[in-house]
């Protein structure tokens, strides 16, 4: 269980998250939804300790991590796949994946057993530079790098954005498998309501830096989507 209690988060003087209180169930996918600019990405960065300042409490299974630096949070079992992927273009696929191992609690840097099963293309091209991959292949690489940290909780920021249509469904299925088969807790920032409803067990709707609705995914009504996501 990952919980936030009265979390405020800041970039410099900019106050982005306001008194966010939320629970993310273990072994579940929770979709975080809302219009652009409502604080969804900042929520994930706050969980990783990547904003300038935060107040409030963040706990994993009751252990407070809100005051811990990013590397300690990573070693507590959180991995982050950012929007835009942020792979290192001059590193090979192998090198990009192994970078994730720096966050492992046991210090091992290995390619996870899941990677050959989920991403055969990556395993067949380990010496290719990350910068020559397509957007979809780079997203696969970013997820593989996160898995190298051996996480319990995976944070995904719009993982199918800007990806060619033939790979979108593949990425979606991989996210579902990571939860259903690998037992990973997934917090998924997503704009595609159909995918959120298909994959997630719960949701949190954000508006102006606040969670204004949350609960089981069955409660994500068309009216709620229209009021808080329609442009």
Chain centroid to CA 193:
17
Instruction: Give, in order, the Cα–Cα distances in Å from 133 to each of 86, 120, 148, 149, 175.
Output: 13, 14, 19, 22, 20
Residue 76 within any structural domain of the chain: yes
Per the structure, how many domains does the chain have? Answer: 1
More confident of the two residues 28 and 165 = 28
User: What are the two backbone dihedrals, phi and then psi, of residue 75, each rounded to the nearest 5 degrees?
Assistant: -75, -15
Point out the least confidently predicted range of 20-24, 34-38, 40-44, 106-110: 106-110
Mean residue pLDDT of the chain comes to 95
More confident of the two residues 12 and 108 = 12
Residue 10 within any structural domain of the chain: yes
pTM reported for the whole predicted model? 0.94
**Percentage of the chain modeled with pLDDT above 70:** 100
Quickly state the pLDDT bin for 20 (edges 50, 70, 90).
very high
Residue 83 within any structural domain of the chain: yes
pLDDT digits (tens, 9 = 90+) for 173-230: 999 999 999 999 999 999 999 999 999 999 999 999 999 999 999 999 999 999 999 8
Measure the CA–CA gap between 24 and 121, rounded to whole angstroms: 32
pLDDT digits (tens, 9 = 90+) for 34-50: 999 999 999 999 999 99
Are 126 and 140 within 8 A, CB to CB?
no
pLDDT digits (tens, 9 = 90+) for 173-186: 999 999 999 999 99
Quickly state the pLDDT bin for 106 (edges 50, 70, 90).
confident
Question: What CATH code is carried by the domain that includes residue 69?
Answer: 3.40.50.300
Full residue range of the structural domain in which residue 22 is found: 2-87+152-229
Max CA pair span of the chain: 49
- Whether 108 has a pLDDT exceeding 90, the answer reads no
Are 137 and 166 within 8 A, CB to CB?
no
**Percentage of the chain modeled with pLDDT above 90:** 90
Residue 121 within any structural domain of the chain: no
Point out the least confidently predicted range of 65-79, 97-111, 143-157, 171-185: 97-111
Measure the CA–CA gap between 45 and 55, rounded to whole angstroms: 14
Mean pLDDT across the stretch 82-108? 92
Residue 43 within any structural domain of the chain: yes
């Amino acid at each position: 269980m990952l919980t936030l209690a009265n979390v405020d988060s800041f970039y410099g003087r900019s106050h982005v998250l306001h008194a966010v209180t939320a629970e993310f169930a273990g072994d579940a996918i929770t979709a975080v939804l809302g219009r652009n600019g409502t604080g969804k990405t900042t929520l994930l960065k706050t969980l990783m300790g990547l904003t300038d300042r935060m107040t409030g409490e963040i706990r994993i299974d009751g252990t407070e991590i809100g005051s811990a630096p990013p590397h300690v949070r990573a070693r507590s079992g959180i991995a982050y796949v950012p929007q835009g992927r942020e792979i290192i273009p001059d590193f090979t696929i192998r090198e990009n994946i192994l970078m994730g191992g720096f966050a492992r609690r046991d210090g091992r840097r290995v390619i996870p057993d899941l990677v050959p099963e989920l991403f055969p293309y990556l395993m067949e091209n380990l010496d290719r530079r990350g910068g020559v991959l397509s957007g979809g292949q780079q997203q696969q690489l970013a997820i593989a790098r996160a898995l190298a940290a051996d996480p319990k909780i995976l944070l995904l920021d719009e993982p199918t954005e800007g990806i060619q249509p033939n790979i979108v469904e593949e990425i979606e299925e991989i996210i579902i498998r990571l939860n259903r088969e690998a037992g990973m807790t997934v917090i998924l920032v997503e704009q595609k309501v159909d995918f959120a409803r298909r994959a997630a067990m719960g949701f949190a709707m954000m508006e102006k830096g606040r969670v204004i609705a949350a609960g089981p995914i069955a409660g994500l009504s068309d009216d709620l989507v229209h009021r808080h996501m329609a442009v």
